[in-house]
Amino acid sequence: MNPSSQTKSEKLPRLSAESWNYEDTVAHVERILTRIESGELELADVFEEFSAAVEHLRQCEAFLAERQKQVDLLIETLMDESEF
């Protein structure tokens, strides 16, 4: 089947909040980019897919920022404990 003839229901599925996983989201973005780079999507679909990829990347960025805060807090806790 030609990707440009796919209906919305045949496009890559959106990831649900309950099953969200960083690695799966990155892989999903990579699949979106592959579809865009194939040159076989209609222009409207390219914009829709690109928008979805950007949203997924924002989710990844927020996830990493939150984990960085957790790591910083743990390091701070370790440093405070080592002062005793």
Query: Over the stretch 23-71, which tens digit does the pLDDT of each residue have?
Result: 999 999 999 999 999 999 999 999 999 999 999 999 999 999 999 999 9
Higher pLDDT, 19 or 21: 21
The per-residue pLDDT for 19 is 84
* CB within 8 Å of 48: residues ≥ 6 apart: 11
pLDDT of residue 2: 46
Total Cβ atoms within 10 A of residue 22: 12
- In this prediction, residue 3 carries a pLDDT of 45
Domain ranges of the chain: 25-82
Dist. CA 53–CA 42, nearest whole Å: 16
For residue 78, give Cα distances in angstroms to 45, 47, 68, 72.
49, 46, 15, 10
Of the listed ranges 2-6, 36-40, 44-48, 73-77, the least confidently predicted one is 2-6
Report how far residue 80's alpha carbon sits from residue 16's, in angstroms, rounded to the nearest whole number.
39
Q: Which helix (DSSP H) or strand (DSSP E) does residue 66 occupy?
A: helix 43-82
